[in-house]
Amino acid sequence: MTTDRARAERTQQQTAGIEVRPAAGHIGAEIRGVDLAGDLDDAQVAAIRAAVLRWKVVFFRDQRLDHAGHVAFARRFGEPVVLRRRGKASPRDVPEIETTADRLELGGRFGMEHDEWLRRRRHTLLRGWHCDHGARVDPPAATILRAENVPPYGGDTTWSNLAAAYAGLSAPVRAFVDGLRAEHRLGVGYQPRPGDDAYVRHLLDHQIATVHPLVRVHPETGERVLFVNGYYVEQIAGLSRPESRAVLDMLLEQATRPEYTVRFRWEPGSVAFWDNRATIHLAPSDTAHLDHPRIMHRVMLAGEVPAGVDGTPSQPITGSEPGRW
Positions marked catalytic: 130, 132, 281, 298
Cβ burial of 94 (10 Å; 0-12, 13-18, 19+) is: middle
Contact at 8 Å (CB) between 87 and 99?
A: yes
- The rounded distance, in Å, linking the Cα atoms of 121 and 293 is 19
Three-class secondary structure of residue 83 per DSSP: coil
CA–CA separation, 148 and 65 (whole Å)? 10
Name which of 96, 304, 118, 275 is nearest 213 in CA terms.
Answer: 304
Q: Which amino acid is at 270?
A: S
- Cα–Cα distance measured from residue 71 to residue 315, given in angstroms and rounded to the nearest whole number: 30
- Which helix (H) or strand (E) segment is 210 a member of? strand 209-213
| Nearest by Cα to 305 from 99, 140, 177 | 140
Q: How far, in Å, CA of 57 to CA of 273, rounded?
A: 6
Longest CA–CA separation in the chain, Å = 61
